Structure 1
Amino acid sequence: MYDTTTARRSQAVSTNTLFARTMSFVAATAALFALGAYVGRDFTHGAGFVAFLGAFAALIAMRFTAARSREATVALLGAFGLLMGVAMAPTLVYYATTDPQALWQAGGATALFIGALGSAGYATNRDLSGLARVCFWALLALLLFGVVAIFVRIPHASLIYSVLGLVIFAGFTLFDFQRLRRSQNIASAPLLAASIFLDILNVFLFFLNIFGGRRD
């Protein structure tokens, strides 16, 4: 009885430590994103695209360094957040100039969305790995829809794209927060933080498109 109780307490401590560390990384990544957006406020869309490629490269590199160097993985996570902020700076500046209210609305909606679905994903005992696979293929289909919408006029295509994107990332958010509870590997915190930050960023951009599009 003692051994069982001790094991459960140890698992709870490990889970709580992973949650705290992961969310600390998420907060730090968001802060670096804000810094990058400030630094890149006068950059062109071309410079933003280069920064996006750099952020994507940092994200891929994290997969290779995760099992080798915690310090390198954390540094790459920071670089990812900073470069992504630079990449998004032209878009954020546009909305800040033309429709600042949309930024606040998107931010508030994102906080409620992530808070509700993150809590549900963290609490549920149902295995959501199947949902994650469905969301992955749905995301590929959504990207294809976005490409088609560039060349073919589809009524309300932008709104449809954003709403479907929110549905897909609702699934990813549920899954990522369940992984946060189930994982016992503290070294996975930077990768989990990157996934959750991407969930937050994409949800924010979809809401921004919805709220900003209402005034078009």
Structure 2
Amino acid sequence: MLHRSNEFEWPASGNANGGYRGLGAYMSAVYLHMAGGVIISAAFALLVAYSRSLAGALFTAGGLTTVGWIVTLAPLGLVILLGAGIDRLPASTARAIFILYAALVGLSLGSVLLTYSSGSVGYTFVSAAAGFAVLALMGTSTRRDLSGLSAFFTIALVGLIVTMLLNLFMRSGTLDLLTSGVGILLFAGLTAFDAQRLKRQYEEGAADGRNGAAVLGALTLYLDFLNLFLSLLRFTGRERW
């Protein structure tokens, strides 16, 4: 599972119309940043898959190399940096951090392309993208308030992470399949929840184009999408023989 913080702190003040001309333009900026991050991650994952020297620097038959561990753990620090400093960082700096984050995650995802068949990865990616688009649209268009689900999603996410960590030692195929199924449902729900939350934060004036809030929103949805994709792939993907 990729690093995810469900409760980023947004700037306490701001003018919703200060950086973007309306909600539509702001949400478009969020989704464009997110799509850019996904493309960057995909490009770096393909680079690892087609470069034996790079793959060998990151992975071995026994697991991650030292460089691989650095590449895997570094994004967590970038998430913390971006989330904690979003009200002080210039938008250009926030974008640079996001690009670096997406590139590092892409390097880590190279192992996915080495493990699963290309057809399985491609089919799952398209399915995840289509599902994400529908769920995000539902989240921004529904009149039902989803904010009451925040505590549930937080508890479920923590429980999922703990279970996955335990399974690293247990190595249970059944438990892995179960956590993948739960992950699909959880990140599907989080996609709709976060899409609505970003919309409301803009409407309430807590998101402003001048402070990189669109980048932080993009990071949130980027993580929802990638975790949804990875959960689907572990649940239905076919490994290379």
Matches within 5 A, 1:1-216: 13-41=21-49, 42-43=54-55, 44=59, 45-46=64-65, 47-68=67-88, 69-95=90-116, 99-152=117-170, 156-184=174-202, 185-187=207-209, 188-212=213-237
Percent sequence identity is 25
Q: Which amino acid aligns with 1:58?
A: L
Q: Which amino acid aligns with 1:192?
A: G
State how many pairs are aligned: 204
Counterparts of 2:171 and 2:85 in 1: how far apart (Å)? 44
Greater shift in the superposed pair: 200-209 or 38-47: 38-47
Summarize deviations over 1:17-56 as a string: whole Å, max 9, x none: 1111111101211122123213433322333332121111
Over the aligned positions, Cα root-mean-square deviation in angstroms equals 2.5
Structure with bigger RCO (C-alpha 8 Å, 6+ apart) = 2
**Number of the residue aligned with 1:3:** none
Counterparts of 2:146 and 2:80 in 1: how far apart (Å)? 24
TM-score between the two structures when normalised by the length of structure 1: 0.84
Greater shift in the superposed pair: 61-70 or 194-203: 61-70
Name the structure where helix makes up a greater proportion of residues: 1
Counterparts of 1:152 and 1:107 in 2: how far apart (Å)? 28
Residues 120 and 65 (structure 1 numbering): CA distance in 2 closer, same or farther, change over 3 Å?
same
Unaligned 5+ residue runs, structure 2? 1-16
Provide the secondary structure at the position in 1 that maps to 2:145: coil
The answer to whether the 8 A contact 1:73-1:190 is kept is: yes
Summarize deviations over 1:116-156 as a string: whole Å, max 9, x none: 21111111122222213211110111122223334447562
The answer to whether the 8 A contact 1:135-1:172 is kept is: yes
The answer to whether the 8 A contact 1:48-1:89 is kept is: no
Residues 179 and 89 (structure 1 numbering): CA distance in 2 closer, same or farther, change over 3 Å?
same
TM-score between the two structures when normalised by the length of structure 2: 0.76
